[in-house]
Amino acid sequence: MVKIYQHSIGQGSTIVLVHGWAMHSGIWQAFAEQLAKRYQVICFDLPGHGQSEALDDFSLAEISEALVTSVPEGKFCWLGWSLGATIVLDIAQRYPDKVSALVLLAGNPLFTQTDEWSGLQLNLLEAFAAQLQADCQATLLRFLSLQVNQLPDFKVLLKQLKVAVLEYPAPDKNTLQGGLDILKTTDLRVALAETIVPVSVILGTRDTLVPVLVGQQIKALAPNVELNIIDKAGHVPFLSHPQELLEIISRFVPVRLDKRGIKQSFVKAANTYDGVAKLQRQVGRELLGSVDIKQCNGVLVDLGCGTGFLTSELVGAANYKHLIAVDIADAMLKTTQRKLGSKDTINYVCADAEFLPFVSASVDHLFSNLALQWCQNLTAVLLDIKRVLKPEGQLVFSTFGPKTLQELKAAWATVDNYNHVNKFYSAAQIQQFLEGAGFKDIQCVSQLHVSYYPAVRSLMQELKGLGAQQVTDRNKSLTSKTTMQKMYMAYESLRISEQIPATFEVISVIAKA
Q: Which residues participate in catalysis according to the annotation?
A: 82, 207, 235
Cα 402 to Cα 430: distance, rounded to the nearest angstrom: 11
In angstroms, the Cα distances linking 417 to 100, 296, 313 are 31, 46, 42
**CB atoms near residue 251 (< 10 Å):** 14
Half-sphere exposure of 85 (CA within 13 A, CB side): 24
Contact 106, 201 (CB under 8 A): no
Give me the residues paired with residue 228 across strands.
202
Q: Which residues of 439-450 are buried (b: 16+ CB within 10 A; e: fewer)?
A: beeeebeeeeee
> How many angstroms separate the CA atoms of 230 and 488, rounded?
40
Single-letter amino acid, residue 318: A
Quote the CA–CA distance of 462 and 469 in Å, as a whole number. Answer: 10
Q: What is the DSSP string of 429-489?
A: HHHHHHHHHT-EEEEEEEEEEEEEESSHHHHHHHHHHTT----TT---SPPPHHHHHHHHH
Residues in the chain, overall count: 513
What is the radius of gyration, based on Cα positions, of the chain?
26
Task: Report d(CA 48, CA 54) in Å as an integer.
Answer: 4
Which amino acid appears at position 416 of this protein?
D
CB atoms within 10 A of CB 19: 26
User: From edge to edge, which strands make up the β-sheet containing 76-81?
Assistant: 6-9, 40-44, 14-18, 76-81, 99-105, 199-204, 226-230
121 contact partners, CB below 8 Å, separation of at least 6 = 112, 113
Separation between Cα atoms, residue 26 and residue 171, nearest integer Å = 14
DSSP character for 374? Answer: G
- Give alpha helix (H) positions in 24-165: 29-35, 60-70, 83-94, 122-134, 136-148, 154-165
Task: Tell me which DSSP letter residue 294 carries.
Answer: G
Residue 358 burial (CB count, 10 A): 19
